[in-house]
Amino acid sequence: MPNQDSPTRYGAVAQGFHWLIAALVVTQFVLANLADDLPIGAHKLALLARHKSFGMTVLMLAILRLLWRLKNPQPQLPAGMAPWERHIARATHIAFYVLLFAMPLTGWLMSSAKNYSVSWFGLFTWPNLIGPNEHAFDLLRSTHVILSDLLFAIAILHILAALKHHFWDKDDVLVRMVPFTKSEKRT
């Protein structure tokens, strides 16, 4: 399985980044919602500490993924796709990248504004980005929540689009992102 992307297929590195980040984003929603249902206490704080560590991991992976993407040309979209579909696909991917940065950054800023430490799995602590500020905390917290709703909506759209490509259009768009498969034009 080649590491590099080709004009017709994502390589192992891009696939690895994609599925690792996707799994972590799902984990982020699960952890945040589990923590949300709990009263303030050790268990809630432990879940949020995990949420912060995974969230900072997403930030680091998103930086690496973006660098990789800038150095490796993306596979072409199928010729039969309508211009509006191409625009939506592009807009969705750009929105994903913006959110993969904005979610961790608003989370990190929110924690800094409360002077709550952000550790990375107990190995080291990230520095505070801003000083304590109750007003900024409220604003950043609402932003984090609103952006998470947006991320959720875009992810649903993205998954439905991938399934439409596979089952309706019967093209290679889904398969070429899946490891250990072969891209053969199916239409």
Position 140 contacts ligand HEM (CB under 6 A) = no
SS (H, E, C) 81-123: CCHHHHHHHHHHHHHHHHHHHHHHHHHHHHHHHCCCCEEECCC
Query: Using CB under 6 A as the criterion, what x/- string covers residues 70-109 for binding ligand HEM?
Result: -----x-x-----------x---x--xx-----xx--xx-
- Token pair belonging to 27: 């984990």
Long-range residue pairs from 87-96, CB within 8 A, at least 24 positions apart, any chain? 88/161, 89/161, 92/154, 92/157, 92/158, 92/161, 95/150, 95/154, 96/151, 96/154, 96/158
- CA–CA distance, 187 with 178 (Å, rounded to integer): 18
DSSP 176: G
Residue whose Cβ sits closest to ligand HEM: 107
The distance of closest approach from Cβ of residue 79 to ligand HEM in the complex, given in angstroms and rounded to an integer, is 13
Position 13 contacts ligand HEM (CB under 6 A) = no
Using the contact rule CB under 6 A, the part of the chain among 38-46, 79-87, 130-138, 145-153 near ligand HEM is: 145-153
The distance of closest approach from Cβ of residue 162 to ligand HEM in the complex, given in angstroms and rounded to an integer, is 4
**Contacts with 132 (C-beta within 8 Å, 6 or more apart), sequence order:** 113, 114, 115
* Contact set for ligand HEM, span 37-76 (CB under 6 A): 48, 51-52, 55-56, 58, 69, 75
Which one, of 133, 91, 83, 85, lies nearest residue 111 by Cα?
133
Position 156 contacts ligand HEM (CB under 6 A) = no
Contacting positions for ligand HEM (CB under 6 A):
14, 18, 21-22, 25, 28-29, 32, 36, 48, 51-52, 55-56, 58, 69, 75, 77, 89, 93, 96-97, 103-104, 107-108, 110-111, 118, 141, 144-145, 148, 151, 155, 158-159, 162, 173-174, 176-177
